[in-house]
Structure 1
């Protein structure tokens, strides 16, 4: 099997509010719009909000979170606060070395904004270790 592309797809309860959140509040750029949906750039991935269909009745909430790497999580927090975005958990360094901040989207999905310090193993070439 060869995976050619991937994206996260949400069917939000309030499509217009979710568009406003991802486009205006968070500040993601629109990759494309197609009549009943909008696709946003999210680093090397895409987030699609489908205005067609609806969340499955009785379906559990999104079981995970979106992990969004940024250069400076503290500057990102200030930027989002300046736009009026509620910060669910303020930026701090975690025991595993990453700096993280949480925001919740209109449907309860957690967006984890992550800063990877230069000394963290995720930034190190381990091929010669």
Structure 2
């Protein structure tokens, strides 16, 4: 299989609310808009929220978790709180050396915000 492009599709019973959250509260830049949908830049990936794919499932999040790398987790926490984003756990250094904060989108989906410290092996591995 040759993958040319990929993105994460977030389903929601209220896609307009979810679009507003990712656009206005998280401040993700828009890759493109189309009638009923928005595709956001998310680092080297894309997140799409389309009103054409509404879900009536009681738990549309299942086990989906978004992992978003940032430059400064503490600054991101402040920005999130200022914008009314639910922060479930403040930034802290995990045993594996990454600084992680947990937030939540309006559908209850977990967003793990990660800062990779300068001395972490992920910054040194050039493969």
TM-score, structure 1 as length reference: 0.90
Q: Say what the alpha-carbon RMSD is for the aligned residues.
A: 1.7
Separation in structure 2 between the aligned mates of residue 36 and residue 11 of structure 1, nearest angstrom: 13
Select between 55-64 and 26-35 the one with higher mean Cα deviation: 55-64
Number of residue pairs the alignment of both structures matches = 127
CA contact (8 A) 1:38 1:48 kept: yes
Q: Which has the larger radius of gyration?
A: 1
Partner of 2:74: 74
Structure 1 residue 61: deviation in Å? 2.9
Q: Aligned equivalents of 2:57 and 2:7: distance in 1? A: 23
Change (3 A) 1:43 1:126: closer
Q: Which runs of 5+ in 2 are unaligned?
A: none
1:54 is displaced (CA, Å) by 2.0
Stretches of 4+ aligned residues off by more than 2 angstroms: 56-62
Q: For residue 85 of structure 1, what is the aligned residue in structure 2?
A: 85
> How high is the TM-score relative to the length of structure 2?
0.91
Matches within 5 A, 1:84-123: 84-123=84-123
Q: CA deviation at 1:99?
A: 0.3
